[in-house]
Amino acid sequence: MNNIQSLTKKGSFYLPENISANLGQFDILFYVIFWLSVILFVGLLIFGFFFIISGKRQQDDQLAKKQITHNVKLEVIWTVIPTLIVIIIFFWGFKEYLIMRTTAPNALEIYVSGKKWFWEFTYPNGKKAIDELVVPVNQPIKLIMSSTDVLHSFYLPNLRVKRDVIPNRYTVMSFESAKLGNYNIFCTEYCGDQHSNMKAILKVVDSDDYTSFLNEVDFDESIPLSEAGANIYVKKGCNACHSVDGSNMIGPTWKGLYNKNREFADGTYAKADEVYLKESILYPQRKIVKGYQNVMPSYQGLLVDKEIDAIIEYIKELSK
Amino acid sequence: MKNFITEKKGILSWLFTLDHKRIGIMYLVSIFAAFALGGFAALILRFELLSPDKILLTAKQYNQMFTLHGAVMVFLFIVPSIPATLGNFFLPLQLGANDVAFPRLNLASYHIYLLGALFCVASIILGSVDTGWTFYTPYSTSTDTAVIMMVTGVFILGFSSILTGVNFISTIHYLRAPGMTWFRMPLFVWSLYATSIIQVLATPVLAITLVLLMIERVWGIGIFDPAIGGDPVLFQHFFWFYSHPAVYIMILPAMGIMNEVVTTFCRKNIFGYAAIAYSSIAIAIISFLVWGHHLFTSESEVAATIFSFLTFLVAIPSGIKVFNWIATMYKGSIDLKAPFLYFLGFMFLFVIGGFTGIFLGALAIDIHLHDTYFVVAHFHYVMFGGTLYAFLSGMHYWWPKMFGRMYSEFMAKIAFWLIFIGFNMTFFVQFIMGSKGMPRRYYSYIEEFQIYHQISTVGSWLLGVGFIVMLVYLIQSLRSKEQAPDNPWGALTLEWTIPSPPQYHAFEKTPVVDKGPYEFGVEKP
Ligand code: HEM
Ligand SMILES: [Cu+2]
Ligand SMILES: [Cu+2]
């Protein structure tokens, strides 16, 4: 998918590449905790091994060489030192957290809406995009997020940030990317069947590309209508629930759909003509196809008429 | 001479017994059945994850499977595991008592456990739940699966847990043998005391939360459901107010067993008896104040900061216990038998689990790691590497006392190494893929994570084989004719002064205690 940067091949052994402009210390803190842990762990192992080897029982009735039940000095040391280390880690973690949660005053605001199972982004000029977050490089970004159904969580591994997306409430997340490229976005709060497919791409571009993205017309007039429909099918995420090869997914397949008789959950019938298809896309909750759940989100305001026409054309094409 | 097993015959003499030993054994069988069910689900999950594409399960079935695995492992297996089995059997014996304070409540707690388990199994048949074991709203109020049935089961199981806790607290207060002062009690008893406090105080909160969830689901009154003005995050607060302390219900008794095993197999008095006893109680109390560390990505900055600090606070007493155990090994007479191997395994894995907990407690780091496989690895290291290892250690330690039969030490070592290697192979790679960004509860994943998942799955097969070997030699031991000695390890606590297996009335004469539980002698120079 649009050659996204690798999480496993780039970056350090444990962490993916860090592209954040302000969280450089995050990785240092991670590895400080890591190496402290390794040193302590190896220390404990050495003591353990040494005690076992030197104390291994030779005869059945052998007793211990010594009985020690207290040592105040030792106990104070092994309480105070870990406590100090832990306090340092706490403050350091807290400091990074503050950086993470502080939004620069000049941040660019983008609205994010989580829906089962895709992300919709609304830019300052009103432009909307699905599963594609385009941001200018070296520019603080503020995401204002909300969900329309269940909980989701917006996760940018390369930027080390994540925030829950909650229905009926706005949550805010900020970041600033210092590096161009395409990166993964995952949903990390369990949200149902397609939770693991609720992915998106973060595209970090330079400011010229960003401006042209904002002004770019979504609809490509130069290709046949049904082909444009096929593109929208992928781009707008219909493919998460609808197949075009006859197989059943969360929603009915589009193959052979046009002009078929549809039976609905409430026992009524209708023919899948243009009017019905358009209604199904704009108001999916009005007629629920029998055997399916009422889970399709409404695309009202997300697709312009031209795009809906293209999809219908594509569905017709699939029924030939 | 008759013992508690041969005393009476017939299935009913078991199902309606008031004998704490028989109830302990019935719990042992039931809990291992639950473990087998949860483990089977785990193997299927791991198998499905061999590939990002479908192998056996659909996405929905995968979600149902991990919910089944998590709920069974937590509510049916690990929460009751040590207290209800080894605790039931050995708490009275270690105190020099012939039964718990309320034998009828003890039996009731077992019957309630069975009833709760029945509901959970019914929910699997009636459209298995797909919410995850945490039942987060509003997903749990909107999914079409059998949430009510499962939640009812968990609600019922809670009462079983509360009854066990009440019983243990009263037993410890009132049934100690003459001379058994609080500071002469074995540390396993102290740990069960701390555990019982949490069980009695925290479980009702879970019960209330689950009732609210059911009301919300059936009548939609708008407590948790945002569509009608509720607050889904409130559910998370309620839920973790129980479920974080529950983590200590799982680990405290495990730590208790470790004290018994390390002293016996090193023939050493415990280092820092009082520190260990008090820290159990301290952990029990602080555990009520850290639930918010599960909500770092959803709550306000101030709350997150306070909870992060408290989380570190509760880590320190656990760390001190590890130092105490290492110090106890110093200059001991060490016998590397199976129970002690599991003790060493516990130390190794629990320390890794603890250190990775420090990563998760540090605020900024947790934001990145939350809900990734790093967390999955962390809690498996603590629950499997900690609690289950201690449980296995205790089971091998007390097996000859419970059944009067000895298992094959050689086979036990083979199983130990299979499980140890298999476990690390299954779960260590999960730290790496998690911190690299692989989210949890994922049916499918981006291709570059496949190799990690494949290593993990192969590890899970080793684990499976290890447990099958264990099952075989334990069953073999029961069928052997050879009688195990009364005190095969040379331990000093009271349960080893009576025959193996104990008689129905374990102590014919009430023992009189005049010293601490671990006062081993010293080799003459
Ligand atoms: C002491 C024994 C165990 C306990 C208490 C335990 C507990 C849990 C819990 C609570 C979850 C979370 C479920 C959820 O997200 O709702 C989980 C997930 C999981 N466990 Fe275990 N588990 C145990 C043993 C194992 C073993 C032996 C394996 C491997 C063979 C395993 C493999 C998994 C897998 C694959 C997941 C799902 C991960 C995901 O999709 O996010 N577990 N376990
Ligand atoms: Cu999700
Ligand atoms: Cu917790």
Question: Under a CB-based contact definition with an 8 Å cutoff, are residues B178 and B154 in contact?
Answer: no
For A202, residues 6+ apart whose C-beta sits below 8 A from its C-beta are A133, A135, A156, A158, A159, A177, A182, A183, A184, A185
Q: Is the pLDDT of residue B477 over 90?
A: yes
| Separation of alpha carbons A192 and B326, rounded Å | 45
Is pTM beyond 0.80? Reply is yes
Give the least confident one: A37-41, B147-151, B325-329, B426-430: B147-151
Find the ligand nearest to B243 CA: 3
Chain A residue at shortest CA distance from B311: A90
* Mean pLDDT for the stretch of residues A185-206: 94
- For A175, other C-beta atoms within 10 Å of its C-beta total 23
Strands (E), B109-182: none
Report the alpha-carbon angle B179-B183-B189, nearest 5: 95
Contact A78, A14 (CB under 8 A): no
Beta bridge partners of A181: A204
For chain B, report the end-to-end CA distance as a whole number of angstroms: 42
Asked if the model's pLDDT at residue A112 lies above 60, the reply is yes
Asked if the model's pLDDT at residue A138 lies above 70, the reply is: yes
Q: How close, in Å, is residue B13 to chain A by CA atoms? A: 40
Average pLDDT over residues B105-127: 92
Pocket of ligand 1 from Cβ distances under 6 Å:
B 39, 42-43, 45-46, 66-67, 69-70, 73-74, 78, 132-133, 376, 380, 383-384, 388, 426, 440-442, 460, 463
- Among A52, A95, A160, select the one facing B368 at the smallest CB separation: A160
Q: Residue written as tokens 């100690």? A: B176
B351 to chain A: nearest residue by CA? A41
Percent of chain B clearing pLDDT 90 (strictly above): 75
Cα–Cα distance measured from residue A285 to residue A292, given in angstroms and rounded to the nearest whole number? 11
Write out the residue limits of the CATH 1.10.760.10 domain(s) in chain A.
Answer: 225-318
Span of A134-148, A299-313, B204-218 with lowest mean pLDDT: A299-313
B433: nearest Cα among B410, B417, B416, B450: B450
Q: List the strands of the sheet with A161-165, edge to edge.
A: A132-136, A200-205, A181-187, A152-156, A161-165
Please list, in sequence order, all residues whose beta carbon lies within 8 angstroms of the beta carbon of residue A308, skipping any fewer than 6 positions away. A278, A281, A282, A299
Mean pLDDT throughout B244-268? Answer: 94
Q: Which two tokens stand for residue A93?
A: 């973690």
Residue B10 maps to a domain: no
Chain B neighbors of A196, CB-CB under 8 A: 59, 439, 441-445
Contact by Cβ (8 Å): B34, B80: no
Q: Which residues form the domain of B486? A: 15-497
Nearest to B362 among A29, A167, A196 (CB): A29
Question: In this complex, do B446 and A23 lie within 8 Å of one another by their Cβ atoms?
Answer: no
Is a pLDDT exceeding 80 seen at residue A19? Answer: yes
Q: How far is the CA of A165 from the centre of ligand 2 (A)?
A: 10
Query: How far is the C-alpha of B61 from the C-alpha of B48, rounded, in Å?
Result: 10
pLDDT higher than threshold 50 for residue A177: yes
Give tens-digit pLDDT for B398-426.
999 999 999 999 999 999 999 999 999 99
- Please state the rounded mean pLDDT for residues B179-186: 94
CA–CA distance, A27 with A162 (Å, rounded to integer)? 16
Q: Which residues of B fall within a CB distance of 8 Å from A183? A: none
Q: Measured between CA atoms, how close is B125 to chain A, in angstroms?
A: 19
Are A191 and B139 within 8 A, CB to CB? yes
Decide if B341 is inside a domain: yes
The pLDDT score that the predictor gives to residue A1 is 42
- 3-state secondary structure (DSSP) of residue A25: helix
- The mean pLDDT value for A91-120 works out to 92
User: What's the average model confidence in pLDDT over B130-137?
Assistant: 90
Interface mutation target, options A39, A49, A57, A91, chain B, most CBs of B under 10 Å: A57
> Measured between CB atoms, which of B271, B298, B443 is closest to A69?
B271
Task: Examine the pLDDT at A2 and tell me if it is beyond 70.
Answer: no
Residue B219's pLDDT is: 87
Cβ burial, residue A158 (10 Å; 0-12/13-18/19+): buried
Looking from the CA of A105 toward its CB, the CA atoms found within 13 Å total: 0
Ligand at shortest distance from the CA of B458? 1
Q: Quick check: B448 and A55 CB within 8 A?
A: no
Lowest mean pLDDT among A197-206, A215-224, B280-289: A215-224
Distance CA A146, CA B264 (A): 57
pLDDT tens digits for range B15-56: 999 999 999 999 999 999 999 999 999 999 999 999 999 999
**Which ligand gives the minimal distance to the CA of B438?**
1
Q: Of B502, B519, B463, which Cα lies nearest the Cα of B2? A: B502
B2 belongs to a structural domain: no
- Across all residues in chain A, what is the average pLDDT? 90
Q: Is residue B412 part of a domain?
A: yes
- pLDDT higher at B223 or A221: B223
Numbered ranges of CATH 2.60.40.420 in chain A: 1-41+71-216
Q: For B240-261, what is the mean pLDDT?
A: 93
Q: How far away, in angstroms, is B210 Cα from ligand 2 center?
A: 23
ipTM of the modeled complex: 0.92
Q: What is the mean pLDDT of residues A25-39?
A: 95
Considering only CB atoms, B448 lies closest to which of A6, A15, A48, namely A6
B486-513: average pLDDT: 93
pLDDT above 50: residue A152: yes
DSSP 8-class letter at A301 = T
Ligand 1 nearest-atom number relative to CA B132: 16
What is the C-alpha separation between B330 and A50, in angstroms, rounded? 9
Query: What are the chain B neighbours of A145 within 8 Å (beta carbons)?
Result: none
Note the pLDDT of residue A51.
Answer: 95
Cβ pair A26, A185 in contact under 8 A:
no
Indicate whether A70 pLDDT > 90: no
Sign of the alpha-carbon dihedral angle for A24, A21, A7, A110 = positive
Which of B139, B297, B304 has the CB atom closest to A192's CB atom? B139
B51-83 pLDDT, tens per residue?
999 999 999 999 999 999 999 999 999 999 999
Report chain B residues whose CB lies below 8 A from the CB of A11: 436
Q: Among B162, B202, B186, which residue's Cα sits nearest to residue B86?
A: B186
Which of B223, B333, B489 best probes binding to A when mutated, by most A CB atoms within 10 angstroms?
Answer: B333
On whether residue B335 sits in a domain, the answer given is yes
Kindly give the number of the ligand 1 atom that is closest to the alpha carbon of B442: 40
Residues of chain A found within 8 Å of residue B266, distances taken between Cβ atoms: 55, 64
What is the whole-number distance in angstroms between the Cα of residue B298 and the centre of ligand 2?
Answer: 14
Topology given in CATH for the domain delimited by A225-318:
Cytochrome Bc1 Complex; Chain D, domain 2 (1.10.760)
Tell me which architecture the domain covering A1-41+71-216 has in CATH: Sandwich (2.60)
Q: Count how many Cα atoms sit within 13 Å of the Cα of residue A152 in the half-sphere of its side chain.
A: 31
- Specify the CATH number for the domain of residue B44: 1.20.210.10
Query: Alpha-carbon dihedral of residues A64, A67, A70, A72, nearest 10 degrees?
Result: -90
Q: Has residue B444 got a pLDDT over 50?
A: yes
Residue among B37, B48, B66 whose CB has most ligand 1 atoms within 8 A, to mutate: B66
- List Cβ neighbours of B120 (8 Å cut-off, separation of 6 or more): B71, B72, B75, B76, B149, B150, B153, B154, B157
B267: DSSP letter: T
Q: Is residue B509 part of a domain?
A: no
Give the pLDDT of residue B142: 82
Which of B365, B428, B433 to probe by mutation at the A interface, max A CB count within 10 Å?
Answer: B365
Do residues B186 and B277 make contact, with C-beta atoms less than 8 angstroms apart?
A: no
Kindly provide the b/e burial profile for residues A274-302, where b requires at least 16 CB atoms within 10 angstroms of the residue's own CB: eebbbebbbebeebbbeebeebbbebeeb
Q: Is residue B523 in a domain?
A: no
Test mutation, B239, B436, B445, chain A, max A CBs within 10 A: B436
Q: Which ligand is in closest contact with the Cα of A118?
A: 2
User: Nearest-CA neighbor of B473 among B403, B426, B421?
Assistant: B403
Rounded to an integer, the average pLDDT of B251-269 is 96
Measured distance CA(A43)–CA(B322) in Å, rounded? 12
Beta bridge partners of A92: none
pLDDT given at position B276? 92
* Cβ atoms of B26 and B5 closer than 8 Å: no
> Number of structural domains, chain B?
1
Bigger pLDDT: A256 vs B84: B84
What residue in B sits closest to A194 (Cα-Cα)? B59
Which has the higher per-residue pLDDT, B301 or B478? B478
**Is B347 in Cβ contact with A66 (below 8 Å)?**
no
CA of B389 to the centre of ligand 2 (A): 33
Report how far ligand 1's centroid is from the alpha carbon of B73 (Å): 8
Mutate which of B35, B69, B294, B428 for ligand 1? The one with the most ligand atoms within 8 Å of its CB, which is B69
